[in-house]
Amino acid sequence: MNKVTNRQAVCDILMTAALNDRNIVVLCSDSRGSASLKPFAEQYPEQFVEVGIAEQNLVSIAAGLAACGKKVIAASPASFLSTRSYEQVKIDVAYSRTNVILLGISGGISYGALGMTHHSAQDIAALAALPDMRVYLPSDRFQTAKLMEALLRDEKPAYVRVSRSAAEDIYDENLDFELDRSHILSEGPDATIVACGEMVPYAAKAAEILKEAGIRAGVIDMYCLKPLDEKAVLKAARRSRLIATAEEHSPYGGLGSLVAQALSAHCPKKLLAIALPDGHIIAGENKEVFAHYGMDAEGIAARVKQALTGV
């Protein structure tokens, strides 16, 4: 079982990149520990800025640094980064096209029993609605590393959401990665489950469960939410009887909505959208919560089977 979290994978990449690039600057809002960025702050104190508990300031300062040639990573809990500083993200990063990677840590319901204040179930919808903003939810540590390497090579705004706990490995170091695409893990004529972020391992397990029940389901790891890899979605839709989406997000404006938009425009198809409910999320560890809402592997498999067979 992998113990390395995606946030640690981010820190490792930044540590390596900063060796040869003085322009990489990391900002935290009293969040260096929860972002796993303490090693970076210790090794590169001149390339690290502590902003204190002030997420709006975090994002605007990041934009100012970027406007003067810095490649900035602004890290803060996804809940606060995506909504409290939304105005600053909209104006100073997206509209101004500054070279800032917004790193939303402890995304989705990572904080579990801390409650609604700390959940970020709106971030895909909010960030994807901003022109010039790209949205990524990597699945495992290898993909997270490749994603960060790729984002450090370009100079455009991006939002990256990672979770708090370690995700199961899906790939390895040899992963062939391209920005703004998706990874097809498997193909299935009966159903294709399109998942993002740390729901991908659940989707992969669901496909295995379905296989045992005689249902051939494929899985797409849609790590890039915007721009969405529509080609992959449409290819799957032409091949599969059912498209399902699985995401740790509100049912509005997330992966399900984006996939539905692509399908309805180009290849109308029955869609099963699996997401968090539009309501206050029950307290608990994320595994418990996913099971409660039918979003764990068993839940996803059961809902896909039900959608296909009626039972």
Partner 1 sequence: MDQLTRIAYKLRRDIIEMAHNSSAGHVGGDLSVIDILAVLYFDVMNVSPERVRDPDRDRFLLSKGHCAGALYCALGEKGFFDKQEALLTFGTFGTRFIGHPNTDVPGVEINSGSLGHGISVGVGMALAAKMDGRTYRTYVVLGDGEMAEGSNYEGMMAAGHYRLDNLCATVDCNRLQISGQTKNVMDSGSLADKFRDFGWNVIEVENGNNCSQLSKAYRRAGDCKGKPSAVIAYTLKGKGVSFMENQVSWHHGVMNDEQYRQAVRELSEVSLRETGAETCPKAGRFQNAPPDFFRVQSEVSLRETGAETCLKAGRFQNAPPELFRVQEELLT
Name the site residues for partner 1 (rule: CB under 8 A).
22, 25, 46-47, 49, 51-52, 54, 56-57, 60-70, 87-88, 90-92, 95-98
Order of all β-strands in the sheet with 224-226: 48-50, 24-28, 71-77, 100-105, 158-161, 134-136, 224-226
> Whole-number minimum distance, CB 11 to partner 1, in Å?
20
> Whole-number minimum distance, CB 35 to partner 1, in Å?
19
Residue with tokens 């450090």: 152
Task: Give the whole-angstrom CA distance, residue 154 versus residue 177.
Answer: 15
> Whole-number minimum distance, CB 201 to partner 1, in Å?
38
Residue number with CB closer to partner 1 (35 or 65): 65
Task: Give the whole-angstrom CA distance, residue 242 versus residue 217.
Answer: 9
Order of all β-strands in the sheet with 271-274: 183-186, 217-221, 191-195, 242-246, 271-274
Residue number with CB closer to partner 1 (93 or 200): 93
Strand residue runs (E) in 127-216: 134-136, 158-161, 183-186, 191-195
Contact 177, 147 (CB under 8 A): yes
Task: Give the whole-angstrom CA distance, residue 273 versus residue 263.
Answer: 13
The helix/strand/coil state of 266 is: helix
> Whole-number minimum distance, CB 40 to partner 1, in Å?
15
> Whole-number minimum distance, CB 45 to partner 1, in Å?
11
Q: What phi-psi label fits residue 310: left (phi over 0), alpha (psi between -120 and 50 degrees) or beta?
A: left
> Whole-number minimum distance, CB 179 to partner 1, in Å?
24
Residue number with CB closer to partner 1 (66 or 219): 66
Task: Give the whole-angstrom CA distance, residue 105 versus residue 36.
Answer: 9
CA-CA distances (angstroms) from residue 261 to 252, 265, 295? 12, 6, 22
Residue number with CB closer to partner 1 (17 or 67): 67
Residue number with CB closer to partner 1 (17 or 267): 17
Nearest Cα residue to 254 out of 228, 216, 215, 221: 228
> Whole-number minimum distance, CB 69 to partner 1, in Å?
7
Residue number with CB closer to partner 1 (44 or 293): 44
Residue number with CB closer to partner 1 (79 or 88): 88
Task: Give the whole-angstrom CA distance, residue 306 versus residue 186.
Answer: 21
Residue number with CB closer to partner 1 (83 or 96): 96
> Whole-number minimum distance, CB 274 to partner 1, in Å?
36
